[in-house]
Amino acid sequence: MPSARRNIKYQIATALTIAGLDPTGGAGITADALRFAREGVHPLSVATAVTTQTTRGVSRAAPVPVVELRAQLRALFSDIHILSVKTGLIPSAAHVRAIVDAIPARVPIVVDPVVASSGGYAFVDAAGARAIGKLLIPRAALVTPNLDEAELLSGVCSHSREGAARAGKLILQMGAGAVLIKGGHGDGAFVEDLLVTRRGVRVFRSRRIAGSAHGTGCALSAVIAARLALGDDLETAIAKARSRVRADLRAAFALGRGRPTLGL
């Protein structure tokens, strides 16, 4: 009988999401996997925590045992040629260390530093937040904080273009390859996302779309990771991701009784 390997016709680009499980599918590993697949990238997923939440908010988050997280990551990287990784919710310093130890240096990592839900539920303890800064960010090809996350990581108020640029430069000094400060939580008629690299600051600017939806931050970083797996350069990946998420926001729908869910 011929081996299964001989029947493989092609190899598809593959990316891995390491994040929390949102049972609504609006964010976390399910939402990331949907974005990967839409871009033509095969999704792999490893959960860091299992959350209890609805469209109205989060009530609980139970971390996955670190030993299980480490075992799953080692198994995947021993078997599959993974082209990019996106991280989201990481609940503790031990989880951060397991992730950093498992990912080969060649693999670009998009770090979405999820520390709390939009409703204020804290996903990460203080030691975990410090570990993200000291261990994971130096490995990141790109860090994608929103304004509040950028302020937490840098200690600089980020709710202005000048403040966001300063925060981005400080996060860059932590060892990141690049930083994208997401301006969706800001005010004004336009959304400004600032890409901070060692070459300078580039502003991605677009007219704000009325309303909001659950999962926009997860979606943006997931699409960027997928585009990197497909070979796009960073600025092209960001531009395409912003366009995709804007279209998804226009297609947001009511899944439950709370916030709308980002469309596809």
Mean pLDDT confidence for 141-158: 93
pLDDT in tens, 225-263: 999 999 999 999 999 999 999 999 999 999 999 999 999
Predicted pLDDT at 1: 40
User: What is the Cα–Cα distance from 250 to 255, expressed in whole angstroms?
Assistant: 15
Burial of 230 (0-12, 13-18, 19+ CB in 10 A): middle
Predicted pLDDT at 198: 96
**229 CB-near residues (< 8 Å, 6+ apart):** 13, 14, 15, 36, 41, 83, 84
Residue 10's pLDDT band, with cuts at 50, 70 and 90, is: low
**Residue 221 scores a pLDDT above 90:** yes
The CATH superfamily holding the domain 12-250 is: Ribokinase (3.40.1190.20)
Which of 174, 194, 178 shows the shortest CA–CA distance to 186? Answer: 194
Mean pLDDT confidence for 134-142: 98
Domain ranges of the chain: 12-250
- Tokens representing 209 are 């779309």
Predicted pLDDT at 201: 97
HEC-encoded secondary structure of the chain: CCCHHHHCCCCCCEEEEEEEECCCCCCHHHHHHHHHHHCCCEEEEEEEEEEEEECCEEEEEEECCHHHHHHHHHHHHHHCCCCEEEECCCCCHHHHHHHHHHCCCCCCEEECCCCECCCCCECCCHHHHHHHHHHHHHHCCEECCEHHHHHHHHCCCCCCHHHHHHHHHHHHHCCCCCEEEECCCCCCCEEEEEEEECCEEEEEEEECCCCCCECHHHHHHHHHHHHHHCCCCHHHHHHHHHHHHHHHHHCCECCCCCCCECCC
Predicted pLDDT at 6: 55
Mean pLDDT confidence for 55-64: 94
pLDDT in tens, 11-38: 899 999 999 999 999 999 999 999 999 9
**Residue 165 scores a pLDDT above 70:** yes
User: What is the Cα–Cα distance from 207 to 189, expressed in whole angstroms?
Assistant: 6
Lowest pLDDT segment from 21-25, 44-48, 129-133, 212-216? 212-216
**Residue 103 scores a pLDDT above 90:** yes
Residue 8's pLDDT band, with cuts at 50, 70 and 90, is: low
Residue with tokens 């520390």: 115
HEC-encoded secondary structure of 12-38: CCEEEEEEEECCCCCCHHHHHHHHHHH
Predicted pLDDT at 119: 78
Task: Name the average pLDDT for the chain.
Answer: 93
| Residue type, position 97, single letter | R
